[in-house]
Amino acid sequence: MRTGSGAGVSGWRLLLALVSWAALSGLLVLAVVLVARVVAPEWAAQHRADLSAILIAGAYVALLTALLVSFGGPAGLRDRLGFRYTSLADLAIALAVWFAALIAGGVAEGALAPLLGRPESNAAGLGRSFDPLFVGLVVPTVCLLAPACEELLFRGALYGWLRRRVPALVVMPVTAALFAAAHLLPPLIPLLFLFGLGAAWIRERTGSTLNSFAMHATQNTVAVAVTYVLLSHGGGR
């Protein structure tokens, strides 16, 4: 087993990434708000969904930038955060684990629905607008940028830092729980937790966050595709 021991993931790098992300995101929000109010107030008033898409995409770009700066550029993401190709077999196993987590998560959601509420895809917000700018920003953000950034943060930096200090059997559920909680969607917590658990196991087994990214990107792409199919048939209106 190739362990995800997280060599090179120090606490100060993780802290620098989080602080840098917060600072860059704050600057982004300030810049967008100023432009919206001073340069194009009428457009902003009529395109609130587009503004939200800009802010969401910008927040993930800010996170990716913070990770690149904090961990030493692309080479740091590869060597310290494990964003590297291992094998086709590892990718196949990752996708099999994703599918198993999807099925188990669906069962868990159904069982816990009376307690947590009715599950709804976190891609449901796609129905807010069909403006080309909104779709052109949100779809690649949800399908590619967000999975890459979240895997680098949760299964890369956070997992790697904790893995240097405590056993994998502790790190896997802890990072999965934090991942699920960070989405602020209580009905989806069972699915997100089980996905996070599977992704952490893949990270531990293969030492690669590229494999867990493949799981995450597949999950989000399927959710987006299903959402748009339902919307096109009037199911989301």
Percent of the chain with pLDDT over 70: 92
**Per-residue tokens: 58:** 């910008």
> Is pLDDT larger for residue 125 or for residue 102?
102
pLDDT, tens only, 149-176? 999 999 999 999 999 999 999 999 999 9
pTM of the model: 0.92
Q: Is the pLDDT of residue 120 over 60?
A: yes
**pLDDT of residue 7 exceeding 70:** no
Angle between helix 168-182 and helix 189-206 axes, rounded to 10 deg: 140
pLDDT of amino acid 12: 95
What are the tens digits of pLDDT across the range 25-64? 999 999 999 988 898 889 888 888 999 999 999 999 999 9
Residue 163, CB-side half-sphere exposure with 13 Å CA sphere: 25
What number of other Cβ atoms are within 10 A of residue 163's Cβ?
23
Residue 3: pLDDT band with limits 50, 70, 90? very low
**Angstrom distance (rounded) from CA 207 to CA 75:** 15
What residues contact residue 115 under an 8 Å CB cut-off, 6+ apart? none
* Dist. CA 95–CA 82, nearest whole Å: 18
> Phi/psi zone of residue 215: left (φ > 0), alpha (ψ -120 to 50 degrees), beta?
alpha
Of 206, 100, 92, give the one whose Cα is nearest residue 151.
206
pLDDT score of 127:
74
Taking the mean position of all CA atoms in its chain, how far away is CA 88? 23
> Rounded to an integer, what distance in angstroms lies between the CA atom of residue 207 and that of residue 143?
23
pLDDT of 226 over the 60 cut = yes
Cβ atoms within 10 A of the Cβ of 194, count?
Answer: 23
Residue with tokens 């008033």: 45
pLDDT band at 117, cuts 50/70/90? confident
Q: What is the pLDDT of residue 80?
A: 95
Predicted pLDDT of residue 1: 44
- pLDDT bucket at 90, cuts 50 / 70 / 90: very high
Of the candidates 66, 67, 59, the one whose C-alpha atom is nearest the C-alpha of residue 31 is 59
Look at residues 164, 197, 203, 165 and name the one whose alpha carbon lies nearest to residue 180: 197
Predicted local confidence at residue 236, as pLDDT? 45
Average pLDDT over residues 205-214: 98
Looking at per-residue confidence, does 2 or 149 come out higher?
A: 149
Place of tokens 């590619």: 144
Residues whose CB falls within 8 Å of the CB of residue 163, separated by 6 or more in sequence, listed in order: 3, 4, 5, 6, 9, 171, 204
Dump the DSSP string for 189-221. HHHHHHHHHHHHHHHHHHS-HHHHHHHHHHHHH
Q: Which residue has the tokens 């990716």?
A: 64
- Beta strands in 84-165, from DSSP E residues, in sequence order: none
pLDDT of residue 144: 98
Residue 114 pLDDT more than 70? Answer: yes
Contact between residue 197 and residue 159 where contact means Cβ atoms under 8 Å apart:
no
pLDDT at 87 over 80: yes
Q: Give 79's pLDDT tier (boundaries 50, 70, 90).
A: very high
